[in-house]
């Protein structure tokens, strides 16, 4: 469940000025959509997923694969439609893939966008 929580709270943290253009701006929008997200609320997960798709399109090339992993994971979480058994199974099955992707995205956010990602 920790991996699921990390993906759902990506971007929730202290946001400061960005220096990476559209990507940083989109990352800020994503952070707002992910803030206080209830993973059992499929509509809220859908809104967060829409913002994640925007961020992934403007992401630097070295993060495209990481964002794909995040998007795949978030889509599966939305498909679970709040079913905690399915969400727990997702965390077990995909948790090992999502952690390094989240770490790479978090590092880039901090280094390039001056965005601190908690979670």
Tens digit of each residue's pLDDT (9 = 90 or more) over 14-29: 333 444 458 988 888 7
Average pLDDT, rounded, for the chain: 80
Task: Quickly state the pLDDT bin for 45 (edges 50, 70, 90).
Answer: confident
For 25-64, give the DSSP string: HHHHHHHHHHTT--TT-HHHHHHHHHHHHHHHHHS-GGGH
């Amino acid at each position: 469940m920790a991996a699921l929580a990390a993906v759902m709270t990506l971007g929730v943290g202290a946001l400061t000025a960005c220096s990476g253009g559209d990507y940083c701006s989109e990352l800020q929008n994503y952070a707002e959509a992910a803030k206080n997200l209830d993973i059992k609320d499929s509509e809220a997960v859908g809104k967060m997923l829409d913002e994640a798709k925007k961020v992934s399109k403007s992401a630097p090339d070295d993060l495209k694969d990481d964002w794909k992993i995040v998007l795949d994971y978030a889509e599966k979480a939305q498909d679970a439609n709040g079913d905690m058994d399915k969400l727990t199974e997702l965390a077990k099955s995909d948790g090992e893939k999502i952690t390094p992707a989240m770490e790479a995205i978090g590092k880039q956010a901090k280094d390039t966008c001056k965005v601190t990602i908690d979670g």
